[in-house]
Amino acid sequence: MLENLTALPADKILALMAKYKEDPRTDKVDLGVGVYKDASGNTPVMRAVKEAERRILADQTSKAYTGLAGDPAFGTAMRELVLADSVPAERVAAVATPGGTGAIRQALELIKMAAPDATVWLSNPTWPNHPSIIKYLGMKMAEYRYFDEETRGVDFDGLMADLDGIAAGDVVLLHGCCHNPTGANLTLDQMDQVIAKLQAKGAVPLVDIAYQGFGDGLDADAVATRRIASSFDNVLIAASCSKNFGVYRERTGILMAVAKDADQKALAQQTLAYLNRQNYSFPPDHGARVVTTILTDPELRADWEAELEETRNGMLALRQQLADELKRLTNSDRFNFLADHRGMFSRLGTSPEKVEQLRAEHGIYMVGDSRMNIAGLNAKTVPILAKAIVDAGI
Ligand code: LMR
């Protein structure tokens, strides 16, 4: 049987991670996988997470199963965090999932069940696992333009023109904030125009929000998602806790389905629970319990929000430092987009050959499409990266 397998293409982000590990150079710089790192290159366990874990360890009396949708308290806490009061709770079905990827996978499975002929539209570019899972599930897929290679901002005219091609019932995947891989984001005014277009076309939005709190702030980053949620009968929202709670390996995420009314919500809830059962039965609980503990305890929540703000401001400072350094070295404003981008990533906008040159000559690792993890930098490595960018003639 196993001889029938054929080698699969490696995930480019994970392949880069392995390559970095093998590199013996001590001054190498990892700007690959989207994991937050502090100034010493560590990915710390957040203070509130440590304290929540301590409490859970002390108080937990059972590891018996929760429910197929996970602990309902997690669903409530996450709905409030992401959606606030934009949609009534009676319209929101929710299941805990193994990370944001699990939420995306379950969302796509739900779409496959409910709308097997729908085409799923993705920004070009998008997180590479989006098209990978869609392809794996044998679903129809199309792309809309997103990134302007010249300005390194959003190609809004291209995006709107391409969305003219969507058919009624198609699904359009939108990044809630902090676009991965580009770092370029729609303004709220542009998002309103996208919403109007999707409404006119009868499309269903699927929002991937994996970096809430990494861009402009916890609430500011959710505004677009909330507007989308309140503008349609049906919206799917995949939210990840990996980054903003730093619980990557705990696999903590949620899929929410905004339904037209309470009856439709009940049907969606039952279907989501069924999908969990088919794929892995009960979702992981530990990370979800940590998140719920933090979100429902005012003291822990305040500490978590404060640490998340430190993280966010640290990334903004690195962005500014890099843009300033490149301005100084090139005597031009052409790298200012780095300070305008938001979230963990920026797409530098250069060729795979130049990216390889940065790796080979300077030990600087970024994804082949020139996506850089800004959080992989620190005050000392910013000037090194800036000089390498200039030396490589980018
Ligand atoms: C990334 O884009 O680097 C992260 O979302 C991690 C991953 O799973 O790819």
Query: What confidence tier does 379 reach under pLDDT thresholds 50, 70, 90?
Result: very high
Claim to verify: residue 270 and residue 363 sit in the same structural domain: no
Mutate to test the pocket of ligand 1, among 129, 132, 241 (most ligand atoms within 8 A of CB): 129
135 is catalytic: no
CATH number of the domain residue 85 falls in: 3.40.640.10
Domain presence at residue 159: yes
112-168 residue pLDDT tens: 999 999 999 999 999 999 999 999 999 999 999 999 999 999 999 999 999 999 999
Question: Which residues are near ligand 1 (CB < 6 Å)?
Answer: 13, 33-34, 127, 180
* pLDDT for position 141: 98
Regarding whether 152 and 83 lie in a shared domain, the answer is: yes
Position 39 confidence tier, pLDDT thresholds 50, 70, 90: confident
Residue 5 is assigned to a structural domain of this protein: no
- pLDDT at residue 47, as a whole number: 98
- Residue 192 in any domain: the answer is yes
Domain check: are 246 and 222 in the same one?
yes
Q: Are residues 36 and 82 in the same domain?
A: no
Domain end: 245, 268, 296, which one?
A: 296
Structural domains counted in the chain: 2
Ligand 1: residue whose CA is nearest its atom 5: 34
Residue nearest (by alpha carbon) to ligand 1 atom 4? 34
Ligand 1 centre distance from Cα of residue 308 (Å): 19
Residue 178 CA to ligand 1 center (angstroms) comes to 13
Q: Are residues 99 and 228 in the same domain?
A: yes
Residue 3 is assigned to a structural domain of this protein:
no
Q: Which of 162, 208, 285, 369 is catalytic?
A: 208
Q: Are residues 202 and 84 in the same domain?
A: yes
Domain holding 226, by residue range, is 65-296
pLDDT attached to residue 11: 86
Q: Are residues 37 and 182 in the same domain?
A: no
How much is the pLDDT for 351? 95
**Which of 103, 210, 222, 386 is the catalytic position?**
210
Average pLDDT of the chain to the nearest whole number: 97
Q: Same structural domain for residues 102 and 155? A: yes
Domain end residue (candidates: 242, 271, 296): 296
Residues 76, 35, single domain; the answer is no
pLDDT at 212: 98
pLDDT greater than 90 at residue 19: yes
- Active-site entry in 148, 184, 222, 243: 243
9 falls in which pLDDT band (50, 70, 90)? confident
Any domain includes 265: yes
- Whether 121 is catalytic is no
Cα distance between residue 394 and residue 392, in whole Å: 6
Ligand 1 pocket test, candidate residues 127, 177, 371, most atoms within 8 A of CB: 127
Separation of first and last alpha carbons in the chain: 49
Counting from 1 in the atom list of ligand 1, the atom nearest the Cα of 127 is 2
Note if 208 is an active site residue: yes
Atom of ligand 1 nearest to the CA of 181: 2
- Which atom of ligand 1 has the smallest separation from the CA of 100? 5
| Rounded percentage of the chain residues whose pLDDT exceeds 90 | 98
Distance CA 221, CA 228 (A): 13
- Which of 248, 270, 296 is at the close of a domain? 296
Q: Is residue 195 part of a domain?
A: yes
Q: Is there a single domain that holds both residue 197 and residue 268? A: yes
Is-catalytic flag, 243? yes
Asked if 313 and 285 sit in the same domain, the reply is: no
Q: In this model, does residue 41 exceed pLDDT 90?
A: no
Q: 289 and 316 share a domain?
A: no
Any idea what the CATH number is for the domain that residue 23 is in?
3.90.1150.10
The answer to whether residue 14 is domain-embedded is yes
337-374 burial, b for 16+ CB within 10 Å, e for fewer? Answer: bbbebbbbbbbbbbeeebbebbbeebbbbbbebbbbbb
- Tell me whether residue 72 is in a domain: yes
Question: pLDDT tens-digit profile of 317-330?
Answer: 999 999 999 999 99
Q: How far, in Å, from the CA of 22 to the mean position of ligand 1?
A: 19
Mean of pLDDT values over 303-307: 98
pLDDT at 143: 98
